[in-house]
Structure 1
Amino acid sequence: MPAYLDEFIIIALAHFFAVASPGPDFAIVLKQSVQQGRANALWTSFGVGLGILVHVSYCLLGVALLLSQSETLFTAVKYIAALYLAYLGVQALRYAKPSSEHENMTEHTVTESNWSALKRGFLVNALNPKATLFFLSLFTLVIEPSTPSSVQLFYGIYMALATWLWFSLLAVILSKKNVRHFFQLAGHWFDRGIGVIMLLLAIRLVV
């Protein structure tokens, strides 16, 4: 591993800036933290981390090369991701109905299963073309072809764990009582904002 330390440092830095930049993963963790609470958001974060393993797997298997060579296949992935984000956006807008503060707070306490939270986070990350491009760049431009598969797998596991820990930290912060209360006071305006963000992300993926 010491022989690949320079390569690992480059990957770790690139991954940090990529995961810290606002995108679909951040939007969904924010939404779940405020509307569903800490436990749900942590499961969503775990799903996001598992989604990273999907990108790592197809890169190790060589599917990333196929995606880079096939514009039709990559476009199909983009449209599937855009449709899913648009679906989440429309869902948020549908529930963004004006109501009294008491009714609004009650609505947001309706719990979602851990499995649904995990699946939501997983799909948002696994279908994210931005992540596809990022891992495609890493595995074709940064990681040398001579780097053993075991070392590449280590890189992938590290990025999955780092992603999970990062969004778990965000979930803990965003689900704090005072932070949730601030967003919940905005009620349906918060839902509308998240819905619009999801729709804009979907449009951005397409265009």
Structure 2
Amino acid sequence: MNISTLLALVAVWIAAIASPGPDLLQITRVGSRSRPAGVWCALGIMVGNTIWILASLAGLSALINAQPAILHLLQLVGGAFLMWMGYSSVRGGLATRRQPARIVGESAAGESTTSISTAVEMTAGQALRTGILTNLANPKAVLFFGAVFTQFIRPDMGLGASALVAVLLILIGVAWFVGVALAVGSLAKSLLRNSALLDIIAGIIFMLLAAFMIYEGVAGFL
């Protein structure tokens, strides 16, 4: 891989991860409740991306390019999971809106403070798992690694070039997604006031994306 091809791949990768989608939406949801959970979710998303990157370098992209049915199967599986995730998010948001605010502590002056959200904070493991599953079901990831990434990867690249590509893309991805999680954390108070609405909106978007993925997957087999 020459330097111009590598720079082109990096540019496409940055554009792909920076554009709005399920990954960024999930980080916003999780990070609005807890900055550490948001960071763990971001790292989980990059674990998912790392799986895609390594699988693609190992030949998955070329296999999908040669056998489009594999892409359609991934769309069906990812769409089904994304639909479930969207439904769970909407259901959780509606449940939170029906519950009254609860006391969560005291201010410096000894006065009680109330939380506008009743959502339970995610553990690190839960946030990491959420990030991984979100990315693996992300239609952008499926299409990027199934169609775009294969245009830059050659079977005869060699181990050194493959390792360079993997490390570079992973480092860029970690820097971007963790940066987003930290930025969301700084806005946590304002986002928390609308956390239930954010859950509902995110869930609806997830379900719409899932419906599109399932439609594309079914259409591909017909």
TM (norm. structure 2) is 0.81
Q: Choose which of 17, 20, 27 in structure 2 pairs with 1:19.
A: 17
Alignment of 1:196 with 2:204, yes or no, is yes
Larger relative strand fraction: 2
The answer for the alignment partner of 2:220 in structure 1 is: none
| Cα distance change, pair 89–127 in 1 and its aligned pair in 2 (3 A) | closer
Within 5 A, what are the aligned runs for 1:23-172?
A: 23-35=21-33, 37-96=34-93, 97=95, 98=97, 99-102=99-102, 105-108=116-119, 110-172=120-182
Distance 2:207 2:192 in 1: 21
- RMSD (CA atoms): 2.1
Q: Report how far residue 127 of structure 1 moved.
A: 3.0
Q: Report how far residue 135 of structure 1 moved.
A: 2.6
TM (norm. structure 1) is 0.86
The amino acid of 2:116's aligned partner reads: M
The amino acid of 2:141's aligned partner reads: A
Kept in 2, the 8 Å contact 1:50–1:122? The answer is yes
Kept in 2, the 8 Å contact 1:11–1:138? The answer is no
Where in structure 1 are there 5+ consecutive unaligned residues? none
Larger relative helix fraction: 1
Q: Report how far residue 102 of structure 1 moved.
A: 4.0
Aligned length: 201
The amino acid of 1:105's aligned partner reads: I
Residues 22-55 of structure 1, C-alpha deviations (whole Å, 9 max, x = no match): 11111111110113x1101101111111111211
Kept in 1, the 8 Å contact 2:40–2:128? The answer is yes
Q: Report how far residue 72 of structure 1 moved.
A: 3.0
